[in-house]
Amino acid sequence: MTETKSICCYCGVGCGVIVESDDGRVTGVWKAARPVARHEPHRHGGETVRSCRGAIPRHGPGRHAAARTGEWRFCQGNSRRGEIVIKVRASSELQTAQTFLPMHWGGNFLSGFGCNALTVAAIDPVSGQPELKHAAVQVEKADLPWQMVVLRKNNELSHLLKVQPLLARFPYASVGLVGQDEPVMVLRVAAESPVDGAWLAELDRLLEIDDDLSAMAYHDTRRGISKRILVCDGEVVAARLSGEIAAYEWLKDGMAKGLPVEAVRAWLLAPLAAPPFGAVQRGRIVCNCLNVAENEIQGALAATPDFAGLQEKLKCGTQCGSCVPGIKRMFNQHRIAGATS
């Protein structure tokens, strides 16, 4: 009997499966107990992380907690079956009063049970695949003013597994991987009030960023701000930003590409939302397979006459295909905007 690691073809997200075969005949297909590839955890719904945002819920425009299109907010989703705290933004792609939440986020990557907390538990009795789930939900703004972000390179999957037991402590927490060639573990947390310094010190120890000789640190107890940057061989390999996370996006993008500390040393602990030296942030990752970001697609659209040409240039959507509908929407929106301008 032979066991082969493979990828589920059911929905294009890329969940791991084990294919059992005997003498060339498939005798069983099982859910992988562990990810079959290093990049897989963020595919379980996944800021699409390589960022955890492409998989985060969207609302149709209307009068609700995330009424401003494109603005991300923490919200609580409630149904008669349960509740979950998630990040939400309004989207013109959905109709008024509609809400979309991918089914693949669960307790391993969120501080909750994902959409399963809100919907029915019906599954196929043979394959175990969930049905296409629908439920009436109420979405309300969640007041979570304190936030923390942790970025960790090197042994990223090991670090991800270390923090998974911590997720349930917080009203909102998510963990995943960012990047293709140099993956970065990303832990995001939001809560009503700051955690104490002893807990942060224990987290630093857990993720091996507690070496004072290799770390830069900033603490403002009165404002509840604590930051720590770990440097190894001239490169930023870890960052913990708690209480103030303005630099999160450009730090994340930089670490995923290899961030030399000398180029950004003066800005690492600053509340700087824009990247130094005028560097352009990549935005959310649209194509997880080939690590193609939204801003890169938008930049290529002006010089690309057709969808096939866009794929030829960036290779986005040429692997599993799950991002193709979204890329086509971006292409069509650009073409319509060009025709009306």
Q: Of all residues in the chain, what percent carry a pLDDT higher than 90?
A: 31
Question: Which tokens sit at 115?
Answer: 């959409």
Res 152: pLDDT: 97
Highest mean pLDDT, choosing among 51-55, 138-142, 204-208, 259-263: 204-208
Res 163: pLDDT: 95
Give the residue, 276 or 244, on which the prediction is more confident: 244
Q: Is the pLDDT of residue 236 over 80?
A: yes
Q: Is the pLDDT of residue 106 over 60?
A: yes
Res 232: pLDDT: 92
Please state, rounded to an integer, the average pLDDT across all residues of the chain: 80
Q: Is the pLDDT of residue 174 over 90?
A: yes
Pick the CATH number of 290-340 from 1.10.10, 2.60.120, 1.10.3470, 3.30.70: 1.10.10
Res 259: pLDDT: 80
Res 58: pLDDT: 57
Give the number of residues written for the chain. 341
Q: Where in the chain is the domain with CATH 1.10.10?
A: 290-340
For 312-328, the pLDDT digits (tens) are 888 888 888 888 888 88
If you search the block for the tokens 């969808």, which residue do you land on?
307
Give the residue, 190 or 262, on which the prediction is more confident: 190
Compute the distance between CA of residue 330 and CA of residue 284 in angstroms, rounded to an integer.
13
Q: What is the mean pLDDT of residues 116-136?
A: 77
Highest mean pLDDT, choosing among 135-144, 161-170, 173-182, 283-292: 161-170
For 20-62, the pLDDT digits (tens) are 888 878 887 776 654 433 333 333 333 222 222 333 455 555 5
Give the residue, 189 or 2, on which the prediction is more confident: 189
Q: What is the mean pLDDT of residues 287-296?
A: 83
Strands 225-232 and 146-152: unpaired
Q: Where in the chain is the domain with CATH 2.40.40?
A: 49-121+130-143
For 49-121+130-143, CATH gives 2.40.40
